[in-house]
Chains A and B, each alone.
Chain A
Amino acid sequence: MGKYIAKRIAYMIPVILGVTLLVFFIMHLAPGNPAQIILGENATAEQIATLEHEMGLDQPLLVQYVRYLGDLLHGDLGTSYSSGSSVTTEIMARFPYTIKLTLVAAIMSLVLALPLGIIAAVKQNTWVDNVSMIVALIGVSMPIFWLALMLIMLFSVKLGWLPVYGADSWKSIILPAISLGFMNMASISRTTRSSMVETLRQDYIRTAYAKGLSKTTIIMRHAFRNGMLPTITVIGLEIGQMLGGSVLTETVFAWPGVGRLMILAINARDTPLVMGCILLMTVCFSVVNLVVDLLYGVVDPRVRTMYR
């Protein structure tokens, strides 16, 4: 198991290096001159050239990239063009907010989605199943930002119960978390249902019935763990979705997280800051996927054997 983890982590490194390379070159396709952006409209050509030289922008792209990587190894993500402070500081100030939002949304969606999916599978083709799956289907079809606006319209504008934006009180997180988590809730409960339906059809479930076990025991002990396997995979993917979705949610609710920072950075053409945000989210996503893979091994002994 330890060896497997080591192998997986070792594999993450080239992938993340690849991401830095990819994003670095994509970002440098962007039109516009960073020195010009920093100095503003009125800068002279001379001033621009001096700054370009200071920043190393006059060197070939590959050299710039290698320098970027070198700094990265020291934990230095560069300096933000727009604020002039270190990218690491900027991002780390925002990161806890994103973690908080994503966690609340993820926990909320899991707590709702798993029972919903299991009940729908057990009560297959009854009205309970139909209603919850219709809700789930609508959920996966709803654009995050639209849901966010509708929630604001209802709970903030009409009813005045919850704040429209900001992150000042515990109340502020409710609407962003719902709009971020709802789609994932819907999609996880759909997966849970279909994998539980599949599992409940298996021969070993029949064996369990033949042993005289009660339905509850069979569902919880025999079906649940087997039915969880596809769900775990989807949960991993959904967290990636949430990281992407946080850009939208955070923008709508002016939630001071990394997603919103990234959009601000893009609008300000602040390349180092954009790269920092992307890298952070990518690392998060990779770590989540690693955890998901390991969870797979915890649940399924067949996978555990493969790890050795």
Chain B
Amino acid sequence: MENKQTEYALDIQDLAVEFRTHDRTVYAVNGLNLQIKQGQTLGLVGETGAGKTTTGLAILNLIQTPPGVITRGSIFLQGKDVLKMTTNALQQVRGKTASMIFQDPMTSLNPVLTVEMQIAEVIENHEHLGRKSAIEKAGEMLELVGISKERGKAYPHQFSGGMKQRVVIAMALACDPELLIADEPTTALDVTIQAQVLDLMKKLREKNNTSMLMITHDLGIVAEVCDCVSVVYAGKVVEHGTLEDVFDHTLHPYTKGLFNSLPNMNDRGAKLKPIKGLMPDPSNLPAGCAFADRCDYATARCFQSPPALVHRTPEHCVACHLYNEQNIQEGGVLHDV
């Protein structure tokens, strides 16, 4: 454990990531800010391609170069900037200070190694145990995620998708990380298995008081697991607040759109209102607000300059030209159009 606790488990300042290929540059993350308080869970919500996974990978400095380049910003993990670390220091951080659960359990396990071996090697690496005791502890981790120890000798292909994701979770939690980054941990799973895996993650998080970054596009998961929410669009946070702030005092038209595209159980006759259009081409982002093209409330100003953050409460803030210091307190700017 860290002896001097910082306020934030994770503090990302003005992060920008680009992917450069010979014919174009994709601006995946563009000045993203994000904080997670110790022990809290933050939901990072947005569509596919909004830069969520890239952000998650950047936290462990795992972006492949080339083609990826982190062009600016800093990422403080327990107060230390991972982007300035040496390879050695990074290896200490990865899997120990922060670990990651990847989206697709089918491909994120090595097909030729037994699962206990794959869990044990994290332990071996960070806790300096011998192979035998590491394997033993790997067995305990398997039991913890609800897989019997004996199955540890099996290979990934002998497991179902849900079981594999449990293995990945066991691997991520094996060294009691202070921050857990979960990148759409349930997207690749069946609905029934999804609930089990989420439950398991909630339970383990509470047990160890782990901070967590939950990357997802599913607002249901956010409501169930998270304390705070950051909504990303085209590589930027457009709205941030506590769960209540964002769900009950929705400010940004995009966030509103996300809620509108969910079916309403109380009024099944109501029409779904999907957000029109597509996300802008990330290699050719507009000068103004990236959402302006799809926004029902857009004005000429939205196409010209990017909006700055406006705060409703110290926590809850939004990046949208509809709001200023005065009207944001009143709320109710968004009418159904």
Contacts and interface: CB of A to CB of B under 8 A. Distances in A.
State if A and B touch, Cβ cutoff 8 Å: yes
A202 interface: yes
B93 A212 contact: yes
Interface in B68-126: 90-96, 99-100, 102, 104, 107-113, 121-122, 125-126
Interface string B124-160: 0110000000000000000000000000000101100
B62 A210 contact: yes
Interface residues of A, number: 22
Contact of A222 (B95, B113, B155): B113
Nearest to B61: A209
Given A209-B94, A210-B94, A211-B94, A203 B104 contact: yes
A302 interface: yes
Nearest to B92: A212
A209 B107 CA distance: 14
Nearest to B168: A207
B318 interface: no
Interface in A207-224: 207-214, 217, 221-222
A207 B91 contact: no
A208 B122 CA distance: 9
A115 B162 CA distance: 38
B60 interface: yes
A301 B91 contact: no
Contact of A225 (B102, B112, B171): B112
Nearest to B88: A214
A232 to B, nearest CB: 13
B83 to A, nearest CB: 16
Nearest to B91: A212
B122 to A, nearest CB: 5
Interface in B306-326: none
Q: Which of A203, A212, A222, A226 has the most CB of B within 10 A?
A: A212
Interface string A38-77: 0000000000000000000000000000000000000000
Given A221-B113, A225-B112, A302-B157, A210 B100 contact: yes
Contacts of A171: none
B110 A206 contact: no
A50 to B, nearest CB: 66
A211 B157 contact: no
Nearest to A206: B62
B161 to A, nearest CB: 14
Give the most central of B96, B121, B168: most A CB within 10 Å: B121
Contact of B155 (A206, A217, A225, A301): A301
Contact of B95 (A203, A204, A212, A299): A212
Contacts of A221: 113, 121
Dominant secondary structure at the A interface: helix
Contact of B108 (A207, A214, A225, A300): A207
B148 to A, nearest CB: 19
Given A212-B93, A212-B122, A204 B110 contact: yes
Interface residues of B, number: 30
Contacts, number: 74
A169 interface: no
B94 A299 contact: no
Nearest to A200: B64
A140 to B, nearest CB: 27
A203 B104 CA distance: 9
A207 B109 contact: yes
A305 interface: yes
Nearest to B106: A203
Interface in A187-212: 202-204, 206-212
A221 B108 CA distance: 15
A211 B108 contact: no
A217 B122 CA distance: 12
Given A211-B95, A214-B91, A305-B158, A203 B111 contact: no
Contacts of A300: 111-112
Contacts of B57: 206
B102 A212 contact: no
B94 A202 contact: no
B102 A203 contact: yes
Interface in A262-308: 299-302, 305
Contacts of B90: 212
A46 B102 CA distance: 86
5 contacts: A203-B104, A206-B57, A206-B108, A210-B102, A211-B122
Given A212-B94, A305-B157, 13 more contacts: A203-B107, A206-B57, A209-B62, A210-B99, A212-B90, A212-B91, A212-B96, A213-B91, A221-B113, A222-B110, A222-B113, A299-B112, A301-B111
Query: Which 5 pairs, one residue from A and one from B, show the smallest C-beta to C-beta distance?
Result: A212-B94, A212-B95, A203-B107, A301-B155, A211-B95
